[in-house]
Amino acid sequence: MTLPCHLLSFLLASALSNNHVRARVLQEIVPGPSSEAFNGAVASESVECSLIGRDLLARGGNAADALVGTTFCVGVIGMYHSGIGGGGFAMLRDANGQYEAVDFREAAGAAASEDMYQGNVKGSVEGGLAVGVPGEVLGLEYIHKKYGSLPWKTVMQGPIRIARQGFKVSSDLVRYIGYAVRGDPHNFLLEDPNWAQDFAPDGQMVQVGDIMTRKRYADTLERIANYGSDIFYTGELAKAMVQHIQQRNGTLALSDFRDYKVLSRPVRNTTYRGKSLYTVGAPASGSITLNILKTMEQYDRADTRDTNLTAHRFVEAMRFGYGSRASLGDPGFVKGVDQFEARLVDASHVRRTKDRISDHHTLPVHDYDPEHVDLPQSHGTSHIVTADKSGMATSLTTTVNLLFGAKIMEPASGIILNNEMNDFSIPGVPNEFGFEPSEANFIRPFKRPLSSVAPVIAAHPDGTLFATVGAAGGSRIISATTLALWHAIEHEMTMKQALLERRVHDQVLPNTLLLEYDFDNRTAAALIDKGHNVTWVQPGLSAVQAIRRLDDASFEAASEPRQRNSAGLSI
């Protein structure tokens, strides 16, 4: 849906104040696409943040400006799984159709070692030892400096205003708060004064519809707006974070923050049904999405009319794809990763994979995962996509890992710190199936842990933008992103239709196929007959954001329908 700029400004102001415009209502008035939406689009998990991104486009900013403003905002409102205490990856396309894969993933410090959690596995989950060097601030600054057009301070004003003036507590936030404290006799959000200042300012936990502020975090964002990333990596914010981390048994030093670098990774790409796909490779998992799609491309397009058989083939391709992840790791530390990723989309390799898939039954688990190794489950993330009329497009995933990261908030700044060290594999700790941890993902100083993130930008054969897609949802990111692209390209669905389709997920370990509750029962029965171990799950375990550029050059912005506060907006 396209709205005039004056109405856009009104909605943005309303979303930030305590009047009668509610997030759920705002979401419902953004159906799109519109033939008038030629300037650009934004999609994120938060209507307030998508409005900020679209406002930046309305001011003459580009897709990079919209991405940076929206991402900083999502860290304010979706602090339970993202923010400047975390990191991530971005796939970028400039106006000339050139691509860049940006890695701002958290990194281990100089004192880290592969046996640092021996006898203390919980130390990788909570406390200072779980924290990796955050990369989001430097990553967003890198993207803005290279691709943005509006001033840095301008791009950050919306997130600062929302943090200071407040935002309406959504049902999404309340639900994740419930998950974070469930089973814990001590509600840290309520009982710890440091957290309660934001989450229980009057002695009671915030509820749906309340106005929540994060004034310390607003001040922090304002410092970053004024002084850039230096204040975060070498200045007063770095010193405060390091001191707090070390007080909580962590080993990160000021030098770890000072030496952190944003990396430009090789772009992984392939074609699928004529569309060119571009993604971020290891330590992200975009190559796995490409591998699954290339395997499916080996089948005749007409075969998709057999829904039950096609579903089985897709799940089997997914299982082979996930089985390949065990060989991935940070290419700066693991030999042969570049060659392995190239092989994942090689024609002969995907043909062999297709030939190994039986149309009649599943295979033993070790056939999909020949290395017989396990990877840690990855967790919560946020995804943002943007595009503009020049052809620039972005797809970014950011995270603090588990809900509220390491459950550490630096008191003065309000920064919630990640527990990304939990994404490394721990030697000598096999999983419940007896599979050993992946050596490719063992901890090393300065190494970055393997991630499920798979941001993708797709182009038409003539090089013009087709779509930008990505997902949140930990280990389910790969399956959700792949499904959205598959439906949009293979079945020629709109992005909104693709996101509404029921999702499947099978990562080999555990040997379980997850189906959303309202998945087709007949297809589910056919999958069970072929040997799939089906478990039914509630919708909402992954969240996809997508933008498609239509043939008339207008934009379709599609946001996750399973999240009540998400919004895809075009202008």
Catalytically active residues are: 381
Gap between the Cα atoms of 387 and 305, Å rounded: 33
DSSP string, 126-141: SSGGGPPBP-HHHHHH
Gap between the Cα atoms of 509 and 167, Å rounded: 39
Q: Which two tokens stand for residue 31?
A: 């159906």
Residue numbers in the known binding site are 105, 399-401, 423, 451-452, 474
As a three-state string, the secondary structure of 544-567 is EEEEEECCCCCEEEECCCCCCCCE
Question: Residue with structure tokens 């908030």?
Answer: 409
Gap between the Cα atoms of 81 and 384, Å rounded: 13
Q: Tell me the residue ranges of DSSP E strands in 433-484.
A: 436-437, 456-459, 465-472
Residue numbers in the known binding site for L-glutamate are 105, 399-401, 423, 451-452, 474
Residue environment code for 370-391, b if the CB has 16+ CB neighbours within 10 A, otherwise e: ebebbbbbbbbbbbbbbbbbeb
Is the peptide bond between 33 and the residue preceding it cis, with omega within 30 degrees of 0?
yes
Beta carbons of 270 and 292 less than 8 angstroms apart? no
Q: What sign for the dihedral angle of Cα 308, 470, 431, 353?
A: positive
Which conformational region is residue 449 in: left (phi greater than 0), alpha (psi within -120 to 50 degrees), or beta?
beta
Contacts (Cβ under 8 Å, ≥6 apart) of 359: 309, 312, 313
Cα R_g (the chain), whole angstroms:
22
Gap between the Cα atoms of 27 and 569, Å rounded: 9
